[in-house]
Amino acid sequence: MAQSVIGSIRSYYPNLSKLHQKIADFVFAQPQMVSELTINQLAEKVGVSTASISRFAKAVGYSSYREFSMDLASVSTDITQSSIFKKIDPEDSDDVMAEKTFQAMIDALISTKSLLHNDDLETIVDHILKCQQLAFFGLGGSSVAALDGYHKFLRTSINSEYYPDFDVQLMQAAKMTEKDCAIMISHSGENQQALTVLKQLQNNHVPVIAITSYGKSSLAQRADMVLLSLADQMSSTSDGMYTLIAQLALIDSLFTIVAVKLANKTEAVMNRVREAIGRTRT
């Protein structure tokens, strides 16, 4: 679970109290040092009570401070040198800005991968393989990832759908049943139109897979299955810059697993698709 503790904290960060964010900031700055501290020592260094430290550990997904500190000890020392917490400076040269952007995307992929667990993937893939129809839902910036998922799964034998318009998405959701499966993508997990679609899906008992950046968002809390797409959650510019690549990587992973499990059917479909497209070219 190396580095998953950092990814977990970053996922919960926006929904933490100011006090817990203060503790999180201290952990981000010196994760290796914090892992060696007792709960009393950490409380003293941060200037909070031991009860606050204990509640913080539970707020970011751990049953106890001991479990939290043990996981933190496995974090690579390289994370302190990462550009996760570096911000673009107006005085930076063009190549430095590009380097920071690339590194932030790499960090987003590493953090997202750290929270992937085999049991979760098996459950999600099982739902996709068994569904009669796989529908993608995403609005705004997340529509890019939804369209990409639809475009990829068209190459499989699974019946897939995606419509960019909110009203059409709502109608699409109204037609789905418990035999289908929905993949909902929302960076914030709080888009009101997306949550309206989610409510309709739940009314129809449709299994919902959420791809979002916030573990305590409304979408994450209400979906049946969740994959976290992590980026620099402390940066207000992260929405469009870094989260999308993590979303795409998760979708690519699901597609690859499903395509391999449906190898014979997928190959046949892809051959027909290539032939159809080939006939349009001169």
Contact present, 7 and 115 (Cβ < 8 Å) = yes
**Buried-exposed string 86-118: b where 16+ CB fall within 10 A, e elsewhere:** beeeeeeeeeeeeebeeebbebbbbbbbbbeee
Q: How confident is the model at residue 76 (pLDDT cuts 50, 70, 90)?
A: low
Domains of the chain: 1-81 (1.10.10.10), 118-277 (3.40.50.10490)
pLDDT in tens, 237-247: 444 567 899 99
pTM for this structure? Answer: 0.73
**Buried-exposed string 7-17: b where 16+ CB fall within 10 A, e elsewhere:** bbbbbbbbebe
**Confidence at residue 231, expressed as pLDDT on a 0 to 100 scale:** 67
Q: How confident is the model at residue 2 (pLDDT cuts 50, 70, 90)?
A: very low
Give the least confident one: 5-19, 51-65, 268-282: 268-282
**Confidence at residue 199, expressed as pLDDT on a 0 to 100 scale:** 97
Segment 187-202 mean pLDDT: 94
Phi, psi of 233 (to 5 degrees): -65, -15
**Confidence at residue 29, expressed as pLDDT on a 0 to 100 scale:** 73
Mean pLDDT over all residues of the chain?
A: 85
User: How many percent of the chain have pLDDT more than 90?
Assistant: 49
Between CA 188 and CA 202, with CA 120 as vertex, the angle to 5 degrees is 55
**Confidence at residue 241, expressed as pLDDT on a 0 to 100 scale:** 65
C-alpha to C-alpha distance for 190 and 260, rounded to whole angstroms: 34
